[in-house]
């Protein structure tokens, strides 16, 4: 019974802190409760099962989770989707500002190279988005 109470406490800790390791420890506690309740294992067997199951889960699941977290989404969204696209200059753009048409919308823009100017009608590439301003070259 104590293993199930411990598993519930670890589960609550998982929900509060969002630490997946606590969930893996909770599964280890449930496994120890199974050894105790179904197989009638002693205290040494229960602790051993808890340690082995918890360690195995952390050793196997954590690297997989880290690998998935490090992957970028398969497609860009938001302002990331606008980087690298082409735009048309509507009003002269220099280091201090101007206007472009990007993805069907009018954006404020500034030149990446402050000494360079782009005239109306020119096609430019969007290098970055800083707030509501497109950085072009």
Instruction: State the average pLDDT over residues 27-46.
Output: 92
Measured distance CA(92)–CA(81) in Å, rounded: 24
The reported pLDDT for the residue numbered 80 is 85
Instruction: State the average pLDDT over residues 12-35.
Output: 92
State the pLDDT confidence band at 72, using cuts at 50, 70 and 90: confident
Q: What is the pTM of this model?
A: 0.51
State pLDDT tens for residues 75-134. Answer: 888 888 899 999 999 999 999 999 999 999 999 999 999 899 999 999 999 999 999 999
The reported pLDDT for the residue numbered 126 is 96
Give yes or no for a contact between 106 and 124, defined as CB atoms under 8 angstroms apart: no
What's domain 79-136's architecture?
Beta Barrel (2.40)
Q: Give the strand pairing for 105-111 and 133-136.
A: parallel
Give yes or no for a contact between 136 and 110, defined as CB atoms under 8 angstroms apart: yes
Residues 6+ apart with CB under 8 A from 86: 123, 124, 125, 126
The reported pLDDT for the residue numbered 116 is 92
What is residue 72's DSSP assignment?
Answer: P
The reported pLDDT for the residue numbered 45 is 94
Measured distance CA(75)–CA(77) in Å, rounded: 7
The reported pLDDT for the residue numbered 121 is 95
Domains of the chain: which residue ranges? 1-70, 79-136
């Amino acid at each position: 019974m104590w293993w199930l109470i411990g598993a519930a406490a670890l589960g609550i800790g998982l929900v509060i802190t969002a630490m997946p390791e606590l969930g893996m420890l909770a599964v280890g506690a449930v496994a120890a409760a199974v050894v105790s309740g179904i197989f009638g294992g002693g205290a040494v067997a229960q602790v051993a099962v808890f340690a082995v199951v918890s360690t195995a889960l952390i050793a196997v699941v954590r690297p997989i989770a880290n690998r998935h977290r490090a992957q970028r989404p398969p497609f860009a969204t938001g302002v990331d989707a606008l980087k690298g696209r082409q735009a048309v200059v509507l009003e002269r753009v220099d280091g201090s500002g101007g206007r472009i048409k990007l993805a069907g919308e009018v954006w404020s823009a500034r030149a990446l190279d402050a000494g360079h100017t782009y005239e109306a009608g020119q096609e430019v590439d969007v290098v970055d988005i800083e707030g509501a301003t497109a950085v072009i070259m």
